[in-house]
Structure 1
Amino acid sequence: MKLGKITKTLLAASLASLMSMSAMADKYVIDTKGAHASIQFRIKHLGYSWLTGRFNDFKGEFTFDEKNLAASQVNVVIDTKSVDSNHAERDKHLRGNDFLDVSTYPKAIFQSKSVVTGDNGTFQLVGDLTLHGVTKSVTIDAEHIGGGNDPWGGFRNGFAGSTTIKLKDFGIDYNLGPASETVELELHVEGIRQ
């Protein structure tokens, strides 16, 4: 079947448009060296108070086009051994078989799948979280904090986000009581454009 001249022109224009859209999404590396990014968590302790912590070592990258937020992508790899709740004995327990089992599962990985845009720079980042050997879809409520030139000649963009996960969904079933079945994650990401 032969394509007409108009059809060929439309196909070429569509392809060029798609290629230019993906080319406009800038690539960023998350600034963990400068400690301008953090992955924090909190979980209720027996329902009486909040236990807080963070992961000290992680790396990642993202693509971002402010005019086409839906085309953005995020990939993050977390070193589970770096869990830090500011208490050595508790951290040893968190690294053990009851929780993260870091000798078997040394990495947690988040890979975005889609972005659902909202109002005023807010959006939902949907992706796969692999933790404790289990991969589940999670949705992160996020917002674009801002972007611009930095004092060192680079260009940055920053975001904040939060989500809640159920420990049992990831095969972690250590009984901490009904008030401690979910973990809240708080994410702050600042990336340097490459």
Structure 2
Amino acid sequence: METATKTVWTIDPTHSEIQFKVKHLVISTVTGHFRKFEGTVETQGDDFATGSIHFEAETASVDTNQPQRDEHLRSADFFDAEQYPKMTFQSTSVEKIDDETYKVIGDLTIKGTTKSIELKAEFGGSMTDFYGNYKSGFEITGKINRKEFGLTWDAVTEAGGIVVGDEVRLALNVQIARPA
């Protein structure tokens, strides 16, 4: 029986985005990004159900389009980017649900705390770009509780409102490329 060769795909950062959304004052949502990140997906041939995913983002690259808030997020109150410069994800299983959907389970480490999380990955398709690179795209979503990862800073308004919600929604749009 012939086994498929190992393929190592790499995230194309110029065609990918790592986004998160969290409630502010429980009435609106703040969106943020990580600007510096990298990752790989190792598969047998092109079978993503055999994938092993490794991802990391630089916590100091957090960007919510508001410099004062970004500095607070980099501080020890949140990511503590000086002591914990990276957040990482390593898959432990990938399950193909249907032709376009995968369930990805893995270990997310933020601020020195590792928890197992579940993500949904929707396959957008594959195509060869203008330069001959074979690429595949995925939209990945999930939710985490920030406090489970040591991001416990809290504040209450004078009226008793919560400033930052606990639930963080993850939205990653990634394009990965395999070697020619």
> TM-score normalised to the size of structure 2?
0.90
- Structure 1 spans left out of the alignment, 5+ residues: 1-12
Post-superposition shift, 1:64?
A: 3.8
Indicate the percent of aligned positions where both proteins have the same amino acid.
36
Q: Which residue of 1 aligns with 2:57?
A: 78
* Cα distance, 1:125 vs structure 2: 0.7
Residues 64-116 of structure 1 deviation map (CA, whole Å, 9 limit, x = unaligned): 45874321111111000000000000000000011111011000001111112
Higher relative contact order (CA 8 A, sep 6+): 2
What secondary structure, in the 3-state scheme, does the structure 2 residue paired with 1:72 have? strand
Equivalent in the alignment of 1:28:
9
- Distance in 2 separating the partners of 1:179 and 1:56: 22
Structure 2 residue 134 is the aligned partner of structure 1 residue 149: no
Larger of the two Rg values belongs to structure: 1
Tell me which amino acid in the other structure corresponds to 1:117: K
Structure 1 or 2: more strand by fraction: 2
Q: What RMSD, in angstroms, separates the aligned Cα atoms of the two structures?
A: 1.7
Distance 1:169 1:29 in 2: 29
Residues 44-83 of structure 1: matches in 2 within 5 Å?
A: 44-64=23-43, 68-83=47-62
C-alpha offsets along residues 105-149 of structure 1, whole Å, 9 cap, x if unaligned?
000001111112112310111111010110111111111101021
The alignment status of 1:188 with 2:173, answered yes or no, reads yes
Is residue 10–residue 41 contact of structure 2 (8 Å, CA) maintained in 1?
A: yes
Gaps of 5+ in 2: 156-161
Q: TM-score, normalised by structure 1?
A: 0.84
- Which shifted more, 100-109 or 61-70? 61-70
| Deviation at residue 163 of structure 1 after TM alignment | 0.7
Q: CA deviation at 1:26?
A: 2.4
Amino acid of the structure 1 residue aligned with 2:94? V
After superposition, the C-alpha distances for 1:160-192 in whole angstroms (9 at most, x for unaligned) are 110100011101111153870111010011011
CA distance in 1, matches of 2:73, 2:46: 41
Q: Residue 128 of structure 1: which of 90, 93, 107 is its match?
A: 107
Tell me if structure 1 keeps the 8 A contact 2:41–2:53.
yes
4+ runs deviating over 3 angstroms = 64-69
**Counterpart code for 2:108:** L
- Bigger Cα displacement from structure 2, 98-107 vs 67-76: 67-76
